[in-house]
Amino acid sequence: MAMTAGTTTSFPMSNHTRERVTVAKLTLENFYSNLIIQHEERETRQKKLEVAMEEEGLADEEKKLRRSQHARKETEFLRLKRTRLGLDDFESLKVIGRGAFGEVRLVQKKDTGHIYAMKILRKADMLEKEQVAHIRAERDILVEADGAWVVKMFYSFQDKRNLYLIMEFLPGGDMMTLLMKKDTLSEEETQFYISETVLAIDAIHQLGFIHRDIKPDNLLLDAKACSAHGHVKLSDFGLCTGLKKAHRTEFYRNLTHNPPSDFSFQNMNSKRKAETWKKNRRQLAYSTVGTPDYIAPEVFMQTGYNKLCDWWSLGVIMYEMLIGYPPFCSETPQETYRKVMNWKETLVFPPEVPISEKAKDLILRFCIDSENRIGSNGVEEIKSHPFFEGVDWGHIRERPAAIPIEIKSIDDTSNFDEFPESDILQPGETAIVNSKFLSMTCQNTPQMLLLLLLILIFSDTLIKVIHRLDPETFFQ
């Protein structure tokens, strides 16, 4: 806007300029939000240090030394956060996961030798399938969430072809692999894993996120060399949700809500169903279609959904742990969809598989319409269910895992499938980053932030000049 002698004149703003201003605003919001989070984290670490020193009864001189050491570590931590990383800083060791979004590799940071899981996402797929918002949601929750229940992200960067998330490597594998190794879990084992997953889901709900893709593949198990572990951590926050056709209502557009005609499964006993399910399960996990087995019916509907959809998914997982296969499994995703939408008729328990009334009641209270679903009155409603009797909710991660997982080394991949190599990491041309992915990189330079601030402040006329200049030329 320009003011002249009591009149107001509007300058037209091109779509390109409008997009750049929006991206600038988003980047600044992201930058200052991260500053606040980092400041709060530093204060929390400082308070923990003070509490620990008081509990140890240290003398003033020893406290002073500890504070000095802590300050040096904080300075080094900030230096590392400002370091701009790229693909050349990591050595790829092995492919440990693959799907519609790209793949996950075990990598080693060259200067420190630390082991990480590198999630590689093809930008072309993200743009084609309109997944940029899902990627941003994944990055945001990995940055904000408590590391006790969520796979930690250490770095993120990008090049012309891909986005890269450098994440905590959990050598214990995932719940899908564990369930495929066993016919069923005992009720004691099921209680342990469902309890931990309740706390993990609640942790992300408290941050304001909905996972929407809770399934055994996304329940990872931690492990440490020379010790037995196997506690749950959540992964994949929304990245696969929209990418897989199984999560899209239009994939089933031509299907009706009539009762399913599942001829392949209807005459099988529970043992044969479990065998058939496990035979096809891994193929479904890595396909571009995926499976709707764990998705709440309201997610498919146009009326909207809320965080309660995650509790439905947990009920399906609990059923699978105890019975050997999920309640709506079928030969095709279409048949599974029909069963999910007709859950009142299709959610049944096979008489030949023993299951307690407490367990059955909890599953039925998870897998019900969202208005009556357990958890609608808060997570305490779930914790107080009789199935969880005896669970020490405040110290569950301190107890031994229900099924201990042992590994031989920090880069042990024995709990992961074998995958052939791909060309996803072949170097491409250096290019300007697509503006839609600008806020995905953790590192920001002060010069770029100042430039973005100027873009926000000044008029459209100046923007038309600035946006044609690279930062170095502009500051000269």
Annotated binding site for ATP: 119
Strand partners, 304: none
Short-list 229, 361, 346, CA closest to 297: 346
Q: Please list, in sequence order, all residues whose beta carbon lies within 8 angstroms of the beta carbon of residue 94, skipping any fewer than 6 positions away.
A: 105, 106, 413
Q: What is the spatial distance between Cα 162 and Cα 425, in angstroms, rounded to a whole number?
A: 9
**Who's near 375: CB < 8 A, 6+ residues apart?**
308, 311, 366, 381, 382
CA–CA distance, 426 with 432 (Å, rounded to integer): 18
Contact 272, 341 (CB under 8 A): no
Six token digits for residue 153: 């992200």
E strand or H helix that includes residue 299: helix 297-300
Q: What angle do CA 182, 187, 188 make, to 5 degrees?
A: 100
Q: Which residues are annotated as a binding site?
A: 119
Report d(CA 59, CA 177) in Å as an integer.
51
The CA distance from 472 to 470, in Å, is 6
Enter the tokens of residue 46.
């400082």
- Whether 470 sits among the annotated catalytic residues: the reply is no
Residue 324 falls in which region: left (phi positive, over 0), alpha (psi -120 to 50) or beta = left
- Of 295, 314, 313, 297, nearest to 388 by C-alpha is 314
Distance CA 219, CA 313 (A): 12
In angstroms, rounded to a whole number, what is the distance separating the alpha carbons of residues 173 and 183?
18
Instruction: State the catalytic residue, choosing from 213, 236, 262, 293.
Output: 213
Give the closest residue to 219 by CA, choosing from 235, 196, 242: 235
Q: Phi/psi class of residue 102: alpha, beta or left (left: φ > 0; alpha: ψ in -120 to 50)?
A: left
SS3 label, residue 357: helix
Eight-state DSSP code of residue 225: B
Q: Determine the Cα–Cα distance for residues 1 and 13; give it in Å rounded to an integer.
A: 11
How would you class 181 by CB atoms within 10 Å of its CB: exposed for 0-12, middle for 13-18, buried for 19 or more? Answer: exposed
The residue assigned the tokens 């529970």 is: 270
Give the integer Cα–Cα distance in Å for 357 and 308.
23
Give the burial class of 286: count Cβ atoms within 10 A of its Cβ; 0-12 exposed, 13-18 middle, 19 or more buried.
middle
Distance CA 339, CA 330 (A): 8
Catalytic residues: 213
